[in-house]
Structure 1
């Protein structure tokens, strides 16, 4: 088949084959001409055809040596993803790239990256026993980074779109307590300090960070409502001594010049604990049941006494649930308290976040409309709320069966 019209190809005095291809126009109005040099004529023809294809499709890569995948991903995480993602999220992204991507394809140039490189990354993760959800998230990070690189003319294509089968993960099954189990947990918590923290979690479905970040100035016990405007969050420190770190400390928290990155509207409390806006649909006002109002009043009386006993040493963070000195409760310690509480209650071991699922299923099982449940739990979409219906339906069926067995039972006839 005859080749398309293309630049002349000639062999130079150095023994290499050369061609000059005009692929467009530079910003100064001059022709954007690329020099192609290869050991054989066939290799030059192949590269010239590639450039002509790119010119026709409008996907010509910027001049200069293409960055490696690792170089681009580090730049992407530092300058692109950092604008829209939480610093803690970026830390997680870096970990996945460092552990799973760089060892296999980190040194590959962007313009030479192939779908087979991604296949190998995901296969090695699978063989190493990584969860499907971890593989999917790694793919999403790579796909987004490669799409940005493609749009900026750094690579002729986004190879993640060429995969026949993208990584997938099964939808995680919702886990929730039954009403009886929830009552056992709250009964076991009655004699513990900050027992109301678990009532708030199970009755209102607050996330862990939202419960620990709740402040008295946002709780109106007289009106029976609370404003979920904050969540407590632990953010890792970053090295402030340079990149790569010059302090020779592996953990950024041990760096003499450690830095805690705060975004607009965030507040640092103690160490790496910060207050930030809640997840999802954001700030919302949530009604408080009368029984929970009474429990929070009792909780406040105890906390006021602790404040008096601590005198000037009591932290002025205004937290509803705090340590004896008013300092915030670390989420890791809150998690340990939850596990200990479940053991004492003699119920199944589930995550702290599953308390939120419990609130959703109990509300639906009691006949509360989905739109109302969505508003209380602040789900971003009614589709998320519908995900709890099948569990709630099973709970409601068991409840009606018990009611029937109790009320409708008839004595057997002789």
Structure 2
């Protein structure tokens, strides 16, 4: 038996919150189209019963479960699940609220990739729903949520684009599961985007200074510097093990010369919420890429001193962030967030004339628009050189 994920905590209210009525012996019971919830006298357990349709012999189809130590919201979420198990979508859609659907069904459904949503993703969804959506639309029946109501919630949110993305995902799931008759958000909802000032990545001079200064850093930070400048996402770099590194000899069939290449295979990710897990942001991000050349020897020495199965950057995310900031300050380097090394890798590669298709492939992306919109941030010196070249063509 599964109590399910809870919504806003009403456990202090216990079974006596609005919508419950007393029934014999002090027990409390809530009646609704979704089922019946009967609470024990002390409020520590409840019996959830859902009845839908009839069996072939004419008797009613009924499911009953007893839950212990759950809140009122968790009991209601379980009633929603039980109704869904009985194939009650046509009936449940008439009474199911957005809150019922989100806590009772949506969080357990797989993502668009067909895999369970990560804890990090669910935490982001929960925050957006609690903060922006549920206070206004939580108690509204799914079939009564209009386009104008959706637009007002999105435009009033502190983060409109995030609110819109989450609300669309939830309502789209309700539509796909048959709880909504019309596809949500077919009409446009304008979501203003409040852009933060972008952090300028390191330029070539700053990268050279960081490579030199890193000789005095602890091994975990040196390893991250090499992996970040190789174009790995922060979550990918934090998951790399020594066994993910390999040295390969490449032969040039034109010159007959042999060169040595060191690559890292990206297949896992790590963050503080989900921990270490197989898989990356998307299928295209599983890749093998060359390690940033100036730090290959240093990275290999670090790898040889580690357990082949251990993470090279064997620090929790919050501790790593603090150590990274301290190292930059002690070295007199301009502070950039760890994830900005990926932007640095993109920018240096494109400024050096590397083909955009190859840059995208090395960084695990499939769209140029994402690279130029989010990652390519040329320094003022590079733009000045471009301006001078344009000027020279006019002479």
TM normalised by structure 1 equals 0.60
Task: Tell me whether 1:109 sits opposite 2:135 in the alignment.
Answer: no
Distance in 2, Cα, partners of 1:145 & 1:283: 28
Give 1:5-404 correspondences, 5 Å limit.
Answer: 62-63=90-91, 65-81=94-110, 83-84=114-115, 85-125=117-157, 130=158, 132=159, 135-158=160-183, 160-162=185-187, 165-169=189-193, 173=198, 175-194=200-219, 195-221=221-247, 223=249, 224-234=261-271, 236=273, 273-280=275-282, 281-288=284-291, 290-300=293-303, 303=305, 318-319=309-310, 321-322=312-313, 328-387=314-373, 391-392=377-378, 394-398=380-384
Cα RMSD for the two superposed structures: 3.4
Distance in 2, Cα, partners of 1:185 & 1:289: 13
* Contact persistence 2:244–2:265 (CA under 8 A): yes
The CA deviation string for residues 147-191 of structure 1, in whole angstroms up to 9 with x for no partner, is 3333444234345334x5331426775731111222233333220
Q: Which has the higher contact order (CA 8 A, sep 6+)?
A: 1
Distance in 2, Cα, partners of 1:89 & 1:320: 23
Helix, strand or coil for the counterpart of 2:100?
A: helix
The CA deviation string for residues 25-64 of structure 1, in whole angstroms up to 9 with x for no partner, is x999xxxxxxxxxxxxxxxxxxxxxxxxxxxxxxxx9345
Helix, strand or coil for the counterpart of 2:169?
A: helix
Q: CA deviation at 1:202?
A: 4.4
Q: CA deviation at 1:107?
A: 0.5
Change (3 A) 1:400 1:319: farther
* Contact persistence 2:343–2:375 (CA under 8 A): no
Helix, strand or coil for the counterpart of 1:160?
A: coil
* Contact persistence 1:189–1:198 (CA under 8 A): no
* Contact persistence 1:212–1:231 (CA under 8 A): no
Greater share of residues in strand? 2
* Contact persistence 2:98–2:139 (CA under 8 A): yes
TM normalised by structure 2 equals 0.62
Q: CA deviation at 1:274?
A: 1.5
Task: Provide structure 2 residue ranges, at least 5 long, that are not aligned to the other structure.
Answer: 1-52, 56-88, 250-260, 389-395
* Contact persistence 1:209–1:233 (CA under 8 A): yes
Helix, strand or coil for the counterpart of 1:227?
A: strand
Change (3 A) 1:378 1:171: farther
Greater radius of gyration (CA): 1
Q: CA deviation at 1:81?
A: 4.2
The CA deviation string for residues 50-94 of structure 1, in whole angstroms up to 9 with x for no partner, is xxxxxxxxxxx9345321111112234233245543232122212
Count of aligned residue pairs for this structure pair? 286
Distance in 2, Cα, partners of 1:80 & 1:329: 32
Distance in 2, Cα, partners of 1:110 & 1:377: 41
Q: CA deviation at 1:363?
A: 1.3
* Contact persistence 2:155–2:192 (CA under 8 A): no
Q: CA deviation at 1:210?
A: 1.7
